[in-house]
Chains A and B, each alone.
Chain A
Amino acid sequence: MTVQAHEGVKPARKKFMTLDFHTLGPLLALIALCIFGFLLNPAFVSEGNITNLLTRSAFIGIIAVGATFVITAGGIDLSVGSMAAVISGVMIIVMNNAIGTMGVGVHIVLIGCVASIALGLAAGFLNGFMTTKGKIEAFIVTLGTMGIYRSLVTYFADGGTLSLAFDVRDVYRPVYYGNILGIPIPVLAFAVVAILGWVLLNRTAYGRYCMAIGSNETVARYSAIKVDRVRTLTYVIQGFCVSIATIIYVPRLGSASSSTGVLWELEAIAAVIIGGTMLKGGYGRIGGTVVGAIMLTTIGNILNLTDIISNYLNGAVQGVIIIAAVWLQRGNLTTLSPFRRKRAS
């Protein structure tokens, strides 16, 4: 079957002189933001700052790639922030305990990573299974698991902070702070996840099934798509992305607590929507998600680089920029264009 062009994608009118704002909107907003950042403080474009910025956006970015699948297929996952926190916590516990029997070394880190991926896949499957087979709304399922994971990490940490043993931290540190050919490892991981995500969503039958289910579940079912299986798998992909993000998050500070990953779910969903994916499902754009994630991090970064805006207004500035970016992305700029010919009604 083929998926018809999404309703949000209007057929190109005159290609000539009209930019495709649906595709380029987020990127233009990001470029505008960067120019603004440079004007406020030239240190914005220093190599160190750009590296920090991209590295920092990797967590939300990787999670948001997974969220793109969930949202495209018409679901939502609110549990990702708590899931990241509990996976970080369990990883730290597993690694700390493994030292006792196996000694310090790279293998400890590998054990931690295996634990992380297993947990991520399981947690994602749980969300998906309860949504599809349990027939509970995704919002409720993931709201529930959000609370469960958040209290679990608090419980494991005894209300405090779980800290990775210092000797393992030295072995693990390069995963966040190291680089290959000058590119920080988290940025590489983000790029790889994004490319794989793009291929999966745009070049495989699975990706088309996700969009089909998101557009119209009933039609998808009649078209012999295994709706439940495809949808459950989107949550598993989400869980996998969370575990990858966790693997590069833990070496950063070597700790996890109940305040780890707070509100990451909203940031991930915001990144997805800023990027042009429809919140109601049916259409997803990985490229946009990547830009959206970088943009969210950039806003915070720019606010830290200047003192002309009161600290108390940080949230307001973020809000305005997010709304403006989505407004651009929805193609509203073209409607304001004086060159636009009125469409004959």
Chain B
Amino acid sequence: MQLLKKIAALAVGSAMALSAPAMAQDNITIGVSIPAATHGWTGGLNWHAAQAQARLQAAHPHINIVLVTADGPAQQANDLEDLVSIHNIDALVVLPFESEPLTDPVRRVKESGAFVTVVDRGLSQDGIQDVYVAGNNPELGRISGEYFLTRLGDGDNIVILRGIPTVIDDERFNAFMETIEGSGINVLDHKHANWNRDDGFEVMQDFLSRFPDIDGVWAQDDDIALGVIEAVRQAGRTDEMFVVGGAGMKEVIQMVMQGSELIPVNVLYPPAMIATAMDVTVAHFTSNGPVTGEYILGAPLITPENAEQYYFPDSPF
């Protein structure tokens, strides 16, 4: 009986789908595929995606958003197939786990006729995506570097804690190094702390026992920065240096808002970019303005003056 009902429902559903073009406003299904919340930043990503999903569905009753999260590239490729075959999506918003392995699966979604928006990590082939929304990694490095130039000068010493060895890390690091080149700021050493609090703590402890004079720390990421701060506190050297992280974690933004000496500024690399991508994708169906193209978000410097607008106390990140 149940089965019969389901088949009947399915038949009615497909009949409606077939007759849909006749209706004034088509029902539109948008698939959103993002990595699962495995660390702080992706946690924020998931939160903002769910917020945007609720907001957009409430605002546009004819738009249905299907949100799926994947634990790895292989699962994400499966998710994409399911979005096409089961949900029959009209548009896809995807933050690829890795560029290479997902380029082909995304192309197949594109070939099914869907509108494709790629977020943050670009595909390794041009011409697949309709919209590209991303944070700006070189900009993050450059803005951070410029802040260091305003605070430090010839003969001052800094240490750098890098992320996980990846393209993102290289882009940030190289842009930073180019910006401070020729200023006389002395980079004592740089080590990978894997965007991880514990690693940040341990690497910084070792930097502190190795270098008696450190004027600034570029941690590049807020998780690392929080580990660094604990290490600096433990060594009792908080008056000696300042720490700059990156991304816009709420705890760090809060410290910036309170005018912390130790962590005076932050540079934004917002997980909320997924919401931007979803907005643009919905606009493709609802707005009369063209939306295709590339959207590179800024990486503004967050200072005590403007910190409030980047503070999301309910977000997990």
Contact = CB atoms under 8 A, between A and B. Distances in A.
Q: Do A and B bind each other?
A: yes
Contact of B251 (A46, A154, A163, A252): A163
A301 B202 CA distance: 8
B227 interface: yes
A232 B206 CA distance: 40
Contacts of A49: 206, 209
Interface stretch (B39-47, B273-281, B286-294): B39-47
Chain B interface bracket (under 10, 10 to 19, 20 to 34, 35 or more)? 35 or more
Interface residues of A, number: 30
Interface string A48-77: 110010001000000000000000000000
A177 interface: yes
A137 interface: no
Contacts of B197: 161, 253, 255, 257, 259
Nearest to A300: B202
A105 to B, nearest CB: 22
Contacts of B179: none
B110 to A, nearest CB: 29
Nearest to A260: B198
B203 interface: yes
A305 B93 CA distance: 44
A143 to B, nearest CB: 15
A304 B192 CA distance: 9
Interface of B: 36-40, 42-44, 46-47, 162, 165, 189-192, 196-198, 201-203, 205-210, 223, 226-227, 230, 234-235, 251, 315-317
A307 B206 CA distance: 12
B205 A255 contact: no
Given A159-B47, A304-B202, A177 B39 contact: no
A312 B230 CA distance: 26
20 contacts: A43-B210, A48-B235, A56-B202, A154-B37, A158-B316, A159-B43, A160-B44, A160-B315, A177-B234, A252-B230, A253-B198, A253-B226, A253-B227, A255-B226, A259-B223, A260-B198, A301-B206, A304-B203, A304-B210, A311-B190
Given A154-B37, A307-B189, A48 B209 contact: yes
A159 B42 contact: yes
> Nearest 8 pairs between A and B by C-beta?
A159-B37, A160-B316, A159-B43, A304-B206, A160-B43, A158-B316, A49-B209, A52-B205
A305 B206 contact: yes
Given A253-B227, A257-B40, 11 more contacts: A157-B43, A158-B316, A159-B36, A159-B44, A160-B47, A161-B317, A253-B201, A259-B223, A260-B198, A304-B191, A304-B202
A65 B189 CA distance: 35
A52 B235 CA distance: 10
Interface in A136-170: 154, 157-161, 163
A246 interface: no
Nearest to B315: A160
Contacts of B202: 52, 56, 300-301, 304
Contact of A159 (B205, B226, B316): B316
A18 to B, nearest CB: 38
A177 B235 CA distance: 10
B125 to A, nearest CB: 27
